[in-house]
A and B are shown apart, each in its own frame.
Chain A
Amino acid sequence: MNSLLAEGLMQLFFIYMLYVFGGYAILNLLALFWLRHNNELREYLLHETRLTGQEPGVAIIVPAYNEGTGIVSSVRSLLQQEYGSFEIIVINDGSSDNTLESLIQEFDLYEFPQAYCQRFQTAPIRKVYRSRIEHRLRVVDKENGGSKADAANAGLNIAMQPLVCFMDADEVLDRHALLRTVQFFLDDKAVIACGGTLRPLNGCQVENGNLIRDEIPRNPWALFQTVEYLRSFLCGRIGWGQLNSVLIISGGYGVFRTDLTVEAGGFDKNMLGEDMDLVLRLHQLMLKKKVPYKIHFLPETTCWTEVPESLGVFKNQRARWQRGLMQCLWAYRSFFFSFRAPAIGWLAMPFFLLVECLSPLVELVGIVMLIYLFSTSQIEPTSLLTLGLFALTMSMLLSTTSVMLNSITPGNKTDIRSTMILMGTILLEPLIYHPVHTFCRLIGMLQWLRGSKPNWGTMTRTGNWQNS
């Protein structure tokens, strides 16, 4: 390789790094700006708002597949929502464990002759149950549909409230989550969806559905994921929210207008990234309708979810997320450089493609190339060192910003000790967590390219955050 080519490749790699880190820095800045101007007001309003019972109703849909360990705790936590009008719809998606039995026993369920509204085709419904103890709880028992989307659609089929909230069964919801989220809908009728920030549940203690101790995980792998979640939710999504270009509302927590979700076609069971697919379809629908709309993102921690502590489960999860992302970007390629939605077409979609999707490949190629150039003495050791130092410093500084932004979000309970531990994690993350994460995403890329059959996958729950 001649030196001119080597120089060119170095420049290209450097430009890519500038795009990645510059993009994240600007998203961080947008998030900081928004938090600075809205935090105090939102916290003040939370204490001022009185529930009148006239709030728009929310149907919380909880797809559950083999969630016997934590389903009762999750439903209990949902029932403690400080919100005027909501119902809970748990979908038992053909679980082979005791998910249904534990719900029947705990909430005294009885069979209910539901007039089932088949808005979306799903795997057959076996029975619908209601609770004798909690009139707000319904449980749909269905055959396994092979995807979370199928279960969520079954929930959507019986949801009767104007707003619908999708979440996972292994989560504990903050008791103000719905109130905080619905506030966005009440403020502006143009708001059609709103996502929320998720945090790892590992390390916390939950009793009767109440989060009694909010601590950072002790497991190092879960600790790395805490930093990653903060970076992704607090900076990325709030930043994109300011440009009305949110492309993902995590399946872990999101509130949507029911009518538009139905009109958009619900969830697509062939998509692995069904949460991203729905948001993109909503963008598409509203752009087609030519009606002004907004998709917001909530900075406060709205729910806690158990993250994988073992490498095997982590690998499967991340590979699946990567495939879901690639599938969505490909399916909605018409958005790229579209003038119908400039912020999405020119900023968000290219950023998601180049940074969120292709970064593992670029990193791999870049590192191999740099090693080759260095070993053949085609680049100066100082250039290599400068490049490496820049990448390391920027990634650490950006993670630091996220951890610190977390400390100024309303309702944050992270103490100084935990913040210091998170800072320490940031130092190790690029060396330990990042390479493994990149490797898992590369596997996902390969799986997508080979067209492997998509499946929901299994997530082993420890459930050790529950007090008996």
Chain B
Amino acid sequence: MVWAALFFLGLTLWMVIVIFFVKRQLTRSLNREQSLTEIWEPIFFGAVIGEEITELPVLSRNDQLPVLKIWSHICNNIAGEALDGLGLIARRLRLDQVALDILVHQGLRIRNPSSVELLLSIRAAERLLLTPAWDRLAKIVQQGPAPLDRYAARALVAIDPVTSATAVLPALTRQGRWARHLVEDLIEVGVAEATQTYADLLQTVDDEVIPGLALLLERCNDGQTLAAIRGRLTAPETQDPEAISALLNTLSIVGGASERELLQSFTGHRQWLVRMRAAQALGRCGNRHDAAILESLLSDENWYTRYHAARALLAIVELGRSHLNAFPKRTHDQYARDMALHVIAETEAPALR
């Protein structure tokens, strides 16, 4: 027992010492980064505005990673052609090799890279289109860890949008209901070029992949994918309410008014999530003939379905505000009336003081 006591005492003391050194290391690396920023930032900004840089300062091996960080940070805030100049200068500094060393040839120059080092390399792979890192990036998307998988998916799409489609699916699945953020990222690096490939994949994937995939197709908004979305929505194997509701959403955005009948058929679904999404979708692409269905949904047992049915009635231009304004007088259902009044008040917010 005495030994156990001494062990815990020693362990805690050791932790105090370790934290002290970690703190010291943090302060030192911050100072180092600051002095490197003073040297390299003007050079990188010069490259952004197209200045010709003939001579570059010598970059020591120890400074490669902090400089990669500075470069990556500047790239993150710049878009378009200005990035070309930064790419050229990164290649001259052999920053692409540093990224590949970390991602592909681990152990040659940097043993056990930290998460930040890995992230910086993934970002460099995306911006410098480092094809040799493909397998490693695909492995990160497949196995994680988060959030590196999101950035690896971005890099894969940037390198080759079409070939990367299958590889990107695990990241979309892992994000599930929160995939909208990832989809925005992928759109930024050109995933729209592979819309048809993703539409083809929609027929074969499991239900759990659909919410993310449907969001991606929704954002790409390509009429060519309509048949695939419709096909998957009506397929007997599509059972998960989250998958159905995601497909309804996408269908109403991509398809528009022509899909009204199909959307109507889901307003009586046993799952409220599906009924709610169908109401929302009808608001997006319905017309005055959908008023009766939406009014009946205003008496739904679920609050969200009632809410979105009222919002949908307001959203249908043909009906106008007057239709919902008159509804509370016509109905005997207190829940429907309350919801109509709620939405009317919500969308008629008093003028700002």
Q: Which chain A residues have a beta carbon within 8 Å of chain B's beta carbons?
A: 11, 14-15, 17-18, 21-22, 25, 28-29, 32, 36-38, 40-41, 44-45, 47-48, 52, 54-56, 108, 110, 112-117, 130, 132-133, 135, 160, 162, 183, 185-189, 390, 393-394, 397-398, 400-401, 404-405, 407-408
Distance of A442 Cα from B254 Cα, bound (Å): 65
Query: Is the pair A29, B146 in contact by a Cβ cutoff of 8 Å?
Result: no
Query: Is the pair A41, B175 in contact by a Cβ cutoff of 8 Å?
Result: no
Query: Is the pair A32, B184 in contact by a Cβ cutoff of 8 Å?
Result: no
Given contacts A48-B76, A115-B307, contact A56 B178 (CB under 8 A): yes
Distance of A17 Cα from B69 Cα, bound (Å): 47
- Do most interface residues of chain B lie in helix, strand or loop, or is the interface mixed? helix
Selected from B4, B5, B15, B346, the residue in CB contact (under 8 A) with A29 is B15
When C-beta atoms are compared, the residue in chain A nearest to B26 turns out to be A408
Selected from B1, B16, B116, B353, the residue in CB contact (under 8 A) with A18 is B1
Query: Is the pair A397, B342 in contact by a Cβ cutoff of 8 Å?
Result: no
- Chosen A-B contacts, 9 in total, with CB atoms closer than 8 Å, are A11-B1, A22-B4, A32-B15, A44-B116, A45-B147, A48-B76, A52-B181, A54-B184, A390-B5
**Digit string of B224-267 for contact with A (CB within 8 Å is 1, else 0)?**
00000000000000000000000000000000000000000000
Query: Is the pair A25, B115 in contact by a Cβ cutoff of 8 Å?
Result: no
- Interface flag for B94 (CB, 8 Å): no
Query: Is the pair B350, A132 in contact by a Cβ cutoff of 8 Å?
Result: yes
When C-beta atoms are compared, the residue in chain A nearest to B334 turns out to be A115
The 5 nearest A-B residue pairs measured at CB: A187-B146, A189-B176, A115-B342, A117-B303, A41-B115
Selected from B26, B147, B339, B350, the residue in CB contact (under 8 A) with A115 is B339
When C-beta atoms are compared, the residue in chain B nearest to A84 turns out to be B181
- Interface flag for B39 (CB, 8 Å): no
The interface stretch among B6-14, B190-198, B283-291, B314-322 is B6-14
Query: Is the pair A185, B23 in contact by a Cβ cutoff of 8 Å?
Result: no
B75 to chain A, nearest CB (A): 10
**Digit string of B140-158 for contact with A (CB within 8 Å is 1, else 0)?**
0000001100100000000
A294 to chain B, nearest CB (A): 11
Beyond A36-B22, A189-B175, 15 extra complex contacts between A and B, CB < 8 Å: A28-B15, A32-B18, A37-B115, A54-B180, A115-B306, A115-B338, A117-B303, A132-B351, A133-B352, A188-B174, A189-B176, A397-B13, A397-B16, A398-B12, A404-B16
Query: Is the pair B16, A400 in contact by a Cβ cutoff of 8 Å?
Result: yes
B270 to chain A, nearest CB (A): 18
Query: Is the pair A47, B349 in contact by a Cβ cutoff of 8 Å?
Result: no
A258 to chain B, nearest CB (A): 11
| Interface range, B side | 35 or more
B contact residues around A115 at 8 Å (CB): 303, 306-307, 335, 338-339, 341-342
- Do most interface residues of chain A lie in helix, strand or loop, or is the interface mixed? helix
**Digit string of B151-175 for contact with A (CB within 8 Å is 1, else 0)?**
0000000000000000000000011
A contact residues around B346 at 8 Å (CB): 112
- Interface flag for B35 (CB, 8 Å): no
Query: Is the pair B349, A405 in contact by a Cβ cutoff of 8 Å?
Result: no
Query: Is the pair B19, A404 in contact by a Cβ cutoff of 8 Å?
Result: yes
Query: Is the pair B114, A40 in contact by a Cβ cutoff of 8 Å?
Result: yes
A contact residues around B16 at 8 Å (CB): 397, 400-401, 404
When C-beta atoms are compared, the residue in chain B nearest to A163 turns out to be B178
A110 to chain B, nearest CB (A): 6
- Interface flag for B32 (CB, 8 Å): no
Distance of A220 Cα from B304 Cα, bound (Å): 50
Query: Is the pair B8, A25 in contact by a Cβ cutoff of 8 Å?
Result: yes
B contact residues around A183 at 8 Å (CB): 147
A contact residues around B177 at 8 Å (CB): 56, 162, 189
B contact residues around A22 at 8 Å (CB): 4, 8
Query: Is the pair A397, B5 in contact by a Cβ cutoff of 8 Å?
Result: no
B contact residues around A401 at 8 Å (CB): 12, 15-16, 19
When C-beta atoms are compared, the residue in chain A nearest to B148 turns out to be A41
When C-beta atoms are compared, the residue in chain B nearest to A162 turns out to be B177
B contact residues around A29 at 8 Å (CB): 11, 15
- Interface flag for B294 (CB, 8 Å): no
Distance of A404 Cα from B303 Cα, bound (Å): 49
Given contacts A115-B303, A115-B307, contact A55 B181 (CB under 8 A): yes
B62 to chain A, nearest CB (A): 17
Query: Is the pair A32, B19 in contact by a Cβ cutoff of 8 Å?
Result: yes
A335 to chain B, nearest CB (A): 27
When C-beta atoms are compared, the residue in chain B nearest to A28 turns out to be B15
